[in-house]
Amino acid sequence: MGAVGTRRARRAGGDGPAPGPLLRISGLTKGFPVDGERIQVLTDCSLEIDRGEVVAIIGQSGSGKSTLLNMVGLLDTADGGEHFFNGVDVTRLGEAGRARLRNTGIGFVFQSFHLLERRTAMANVSVPLVLNGVPLVRRRALARELLHSVGLGHRLSSKPHQLSGGEQQRVALARALSLNPPLILADEPTGALDAATSSAVLDQLISQARRRNAAVVIVTHDPLVADAADRRITIREGRTFEEG
């Protein structure tokens, strides 16, 4: 193992609006005030991720995995370091700029699905499309197409309580893909599922991302999930290390 800095040669392919890696983070730091003291969670995190690549982030509980994912997902800001996403220097963006970049460039898949309980699968998948002003006819067609692509063409009108855990997670995956983002972030996406369902959902996540040449970052405790990734990044004592 060694600290993540310069990486092996990048995989070929992956056209995009900006050259170089999709995500480049260097020397990222983050701390939080606790009882009058500042607790440093991330002290030196660096990584590069290419389009079409699947990367697992692993580490003990409290190691900073979710904190790093929040930084990558533009849900929080770092205290220091460099952060470039799709050629954009994120550290120079205000809150509105980060929100625009996040809403159009990043899809999220969470352990607990976060579906709207009173809405159908179609309506749940359509939420990002509505927020981004996609016309009704177009968003209905896209939602239908996405649900078919994850094997839920027969569940278009079903509400979350009518779906199994695996089906709910596939609805969440379809929602994350709705704007065709170049980056998908998954936080313990199989944590609430049994082994067989976990494998099926993971296969869907990776295959759908590869089809779109999107990068995937998965935070996980599950070694089987980590083994499915192209690379594994370990966080230890606030630093990133790449297994090799």
Using one digit for the tens of pLDDT, what is the confidence trace for 77-127? Answer: 999 999 999 999 999 999 999 999 999 999 999 888 999 999 999 999 999
Q: Is residue 128 pLDDT above 70, yes or no?
A: yes
**In Å, what is the CA distance from 176 to each residue of 21, 96, 114, 223?**
21, 20, 11, 24
pLDDT 10s digits, 23-46: 999 999 999 988 888 889 999 999
Q: Is residue 2 pLDDT above 50, yes or no?
A: no
Which homologous superfamily is 2-6+17-242 in?
P-loop containing nucleotide triphosphate hydrolases (3.40.50.300)
The per-residue b/e assignment along 38-73, b for 16 or more CB within 10 angstroms, e otherwise, is eeebbebbbbbbbbbbbbbbbbeeebbbbbbbbbbb
* Residue 68 pLDDT: 93
* Residue 3 pLDDT: 44
* Residue 244 pLDDT: 55
Q: Which residues does residue 215 pair with via DSSP β-bridges, in sequence order?
A: 183
Q: What is the mean pLDDT of the chain?
A: 89
pLDDT 10s digits, 196-221: 888 999 999 999 999 999 999 999 98
pTM for the whole structure: 0.87
* Residue 209 pLDDT: 92
pLDDT category of residue 18 using cuts at 50, 70 and 90: low
